[in-house]
Structure 1
Amino acid sequence: MKTQLLLLGFSSILLISCGSNKSKTATDADSTMHDHMHHESTEAKVDTTVIKAGQEVYFVNLTDGQKVNNPIKVEMGVKGMTVEPIGAVNADKGHHHLIIDGSYTPAGTTVSADSTHIHFGKGQTETELTLSPGKHTLTLQFANGMHASYGQRMSKTITVEVK
């Protein structure tokens, strides 16, 4: 009887732990880190990111409401943090993302990777864009080495008008 109860309890534990497919192997995490087109849950997570006074991202050469011509040169800056390529998650370090016609990514959430969410995982601080004529929003979003957003406090949105 004791053996049957012990086996029943052990079987239940196995079923519970095997039923979850949410864990990732080291290989999965490695390929996710290098795959810029990965998509993870966009559910907002609790913002535990500590943004210190003076830390911010900014557009070096563009201002809100500016009229621009194609190609549009975008220079990205950050204060109080260091730009580094993707990989390790280091305090006060990360890389830029540019979101075209969209808003910031909530803190702790992976920044999407698609045609309107451009990743600069090599540590780049400038790029050129070609946008259709009219008004567009550009959101600069800083994120850590694994693309987890530092949230609204480390984002900056401006509107530009393409002639």
Structure 2
Amino acid sequence: MRHTLVLAALLAAVLQSFAAGSGTALPAAETTAKPAADPRSAQVYFIWPHEGTVISGGKFWVRMGLRNMGVAPKGTALPNTGHHHLLIDTELPSMTEPIPNDRNHLHFGAGETEARIELPPGTHTLQLLLGDMNHVPHKPPVVSKKITVTVR
């Protein structure tokens, strides 16, 4: 799936370049923080870890899944796509503004579907929120269940 989206983004860039050379203008990507439409059946979820997972050492891989939408890097204007944001030990942010970028809101704007993170010992909550090309949650929001993991 990830390779298909990368190819679609490359094709869009080639078409844009071709149109620029022919004098035909193609629509530019929007730069406002306006949420993109998404399918009502879209789901974002954790492949790993699962609810209640006990993690030794603090460093672990988070694997993120998405159904009925595609993953695309930030700034990519493809319909029904977005990129993952991992919320750690926090509540959901505003659904009408860009998702914050800090230690509690990790952005995966390159289109990553997995990441190695490190958490201190203790109990932590994790939640996924899909953002559009401008890091704004979709309308309606595509958000996972909140899970709890324990780091030892």
Normalised to the residue count of structure 1, the TM-score between the two structures is: 0.65
For 1:135, the equivalent position in structure 2 comes to: 123
CA distance in 1, matches of 2:141, 2:98: 15
- Look up the match of 2:68: 80
The code of the aligned residue for 1:162 comes to V
1:53-132 to structure 2, matched below 5 A, reads: 53-69=40-56, 70-132=58-120
Give the deviation of 1:118 after TM superposition: 0.8
Cα–Cα, structure 1 residues 151 and 159, in superposed 2: closer, same or farther, change >3 Å?
farther
**Match for 1:63: what amino acid?**
H
Structure 2: gaps spanning 5 or more residues: 1-30
Letter in 2 for 1:105: P
For structure 1, the 5+ residue unaligned runs are 1-28, 34-39
Partner residue in 1 for 2:147:
158
**Residues in 2 aligned to 1:103 and 1:150: alpha-carbon distance in whole angstroms:** 17
How far apart are the structure 2 equivalents of 1:141 and 1:116? Answer: 12
Q: Which has the larger radius of gyration?
A: 1
Q: State the superposition RMSD in angstroms.
A: 2.5
TM superposition shift of 1:49: 6.6
The Cα of 1:153 is off from its aligned counterpart by 4.1
Q: Secondary structure at the match of 1:155?
A: coil
* TM-score normalised over the length of structure 2: 0.69
Per-residue CA distance 1:91-122 (angstroms, 9 max, x = gap): 31010011110122343321001122111110
Residue deviations 1:44-97, cap 9 Å, x none?
A: x9xx87553431100012111211122111001110110000113433101001
State percent identity of aligned pairs: 32
The 8 Å contact of residues 99 and 117 in structure 1, kept in 2 or not, is answered as yes
